A and B are shown apart, each in its own frame.
Chain A
């Protein structure tokens, strides 16, 4: 066991939290944001459909999926930067979970 500096530990948590806030804001804007101003967006067209309809039927879902994959990749990079090894995670995790 090695002690982690408080700044380092806080920096890890801060980076992860910022990622979460950014991605959830994007998700919120493309769903609730577009719905709230649907009448306004209906004057634009995208791929042959009114923009509000496109976002509801495809755009929002595609952006949700991209957010999740981007977050998974970026979070892996954050882990790597802080020296976290996933194999070690897995073996620690299997010893620590309550399997009763």
Chain B
């Protein structure tokens, strides 16, 4: 083992020990600990945990590379994945919090007083989270595999074991505090390299202010080479696809069950609003940095690697060529590597840039630990969501309502271990490109849940028939469009990753039309919806609003 491997491994093991220590310290004792961390997490820390929960291996490892490859067109990911928090915090989170349930399927089941709706929602939650977790497990496999120079398969297995242990130990309470720790590690690991790069390239340590000039210079080099400029709009895809992808990612973000459930862990509607604000601030640190990451890596590659003689290429090129993520070939045979002869894989940019920019062993190790933190924190949140859909919504609410606390906790833990093992097996041989699978998860979440949740908390006339039809039609039409687009049958140039723009409106229409032609929901369900307009202290009852001033009923 060389020194670099030892340093990276040491950092990863130290962070693993930290996560497991935190889970043991915050071990869940009751079901409310396990699912919603006893609803007592302060908004600031919940915001940080949402940041860790949210930022996955795809965000950490893949996003800067996507922006580097696509230029302006990659920015749909930046705006979509942050804008979703606007929809979530304004339209859904406080109201869902006041409704006061454990999970998203439980809200849907109780709001519409319908067990079929509960079952569909639970199954859809499992499908969406499962799709998403496969990406996380294979991401951790790539990091561990690259570290030890072993096949990614064994790396995935190691990751699976670690995740299963700490998620089943701590439940939501443990996951919350490990996610806080993981957020801090991943954001430090993300920002340190670009601060050094910014110093190297421009002499200013604040990359967010300096990379504008770098983008400009890249554009100038592109012009010289006769390529389309880096910042030119819609060079890589149609405007319609850009807008569809932006819409899909935004709406999908606001309807992902594992993100929504984090808003259940705070005390009040007010705390939910503040959680959303803190969360987006913490998430923003990474998303604002990704375009800078892309610009600096591209600039360094263009100016320091391109133009070198083929036999004097730096040492790091060999190891990345071996992983298949980097391709270089002297196509014109002039002995010099030109920019157009380099093909950089999206997933190597963040991992390789510290090496490319010569930032030293410690930073390279830190980035590896940060990538693991991103994969593990998201996987932890997803596993809790899968386990609660199964153990709480399906087992407890539908199959065995008399189950004791202990049995339900055990069912939850068994569900975690089972789903980790199954997802790990799938991740050994992932069914497609990771970023693509992740985008499908967003389309499915938006297409299945967003209209039902939105109308569920804002429109009292919405009923069970509407919800069931909406979810089924939304899920089916989204899946259908993904399938058609994969086979090159598209509408207005919208590709499979933008499928949400088809599924969401169809779901909305189905909800509204079916609700209107069937009987209105029971009066107490309608009253519950009006009650969500007001803060906890105000209660809506029998057409009147009451203020609870502590004087009893």
Contacts and interface: CB of A to CB of B under 8 A. Distances in A.
Interface of A: 1-4, 6, 8-9, 12-13, 16, 20, 23-24, 27, 31-32, 35-36, 38-39, 42, 47-50, 52-54, 56-58, 60-62, 64-65, 67-69, 71-72, 75-76, 79, 83-86, 88-90, 92-94, 96-100
B537 A62 contact: no
Contacts of B273: 68, 71-72, 75
Q: Identify whether the interface residues of B are mostly helix, strand, loop, or mixed.
A: helix
Nearest to A68: B277
A52 B267 contact: no
B208 interface: yes
Nearest to A90: B267
A6 B534 CA distance: 12
A59 to B, nearest CB: 10
Interface in B213-271: 213, 215-216, 231-234, 239, 242-243, 246-247, 250, 267-271
Shortest 10 CB-CB contacts between residues of A and residues of B: A97-B100, A56-B75, A48-B212, A68-B277, A57-B291, A9-B545, A38-B233, A89-B536, A49-B212, A53-B231
A34 to B, nearest CB: 9
Contacts of B209: 47
8 contacts: A2-B546, A3-B546, A50-B231, A56-B72, A56-B76, A69-B281, A79-B270, A93-B98
Nearest to A31: B79
B332 interface: no
Contact of B72 (A53, A65, A90): A53
B45 to A, nearest CB: 16
B276 interface: yes
Contacts of A9: 534, 538, 540, 545
B461 interface: no
Contacts of A35: 76, 79, 239, 242-243, 246
A20 to B, nearest CB: 5
Contacts of B538: 4, 9, 12, 84
B39 interface: yes
Contact of B284 (A31, A62, A71): A62
B534 A71 contact: no
Given A1-B552, A32-B243, A36-B243, A49 B231 contact: yes
Given A12-B538, A49-B215, A56 B78 contact: yes
Contacts of A75: 270, 273
Interface residues of B, number: 71
Contact of A53 (B75, B269, B270, B550): B75
A32 B231 CA distance: 17
Interface of B: 31-32, 39, 67, 72, 75-76, 78-79, 82-83, 85-87, 89-91, 98, 100-102, 110, 208-209, 212-213, 215-216, 231-234, 239, 242-243, 246-247, 250, 267-271, 273-274, 276-277, 280-281, 284, 287-288, 291, 533-540, 544-553
Given A6-B545, A68-B89, 14 more contacts: A6-B544, A16-B533, A20-B90, A24-B87, A31-B246, A42-B232, A48-B212, A69-B277, A72-B274, A89-B270, A93-B98, A93-B100, A97-B39, A97-B100
B289 to A, nearest CB: 10
A39 B82 CA distance: 23
A73 to B, nearest CB: 9
B75 A76 contact: no
A68 B83 contact: no
Contacts of B75: 53, 56-57
Contact of A64 (B31, B86, B233, B533): B86
A39 B83 CA distance: 22
B32 A32 contact: no
A72 to B, nearest CB: 5
Contacts, number: 194
Contact of A38 (B72, B91, B281): B72
Say whether chain A's binding surface is mostly helix, strand, loop, or mixed: helix
A50 B90 CA distance: 30
Nearest to A48: B212
Contacts of B270: 72, 75-76, 79, 86, 89
B86 A24 contact: yes
A78 to B, nearest CB: 9
B288 A58 contact: yes
A92 B25 CA distance: 29
A32 B75 CA distance: 12
A42 B536 contact: no
Contacts of A79: 270, 535
A3 B541 CA distance: 10
Given A31-B79, A58-B208, A61-B78, A98 B534 contact: no
Contacts of A6: 544-545
Given A1-B546, A2-B551, A89-B269, A31 B242 contact: no
B277 A13 contact: no
A76 B548 CA distance: 18
Contacts of B101: 97-98
Contact of A61 (B79, B274, B535, B545): B79
Contacts of A93: 39, 98, 100, 267-268, 536
Contact of A31 (B83, B85, B231, B545): B83
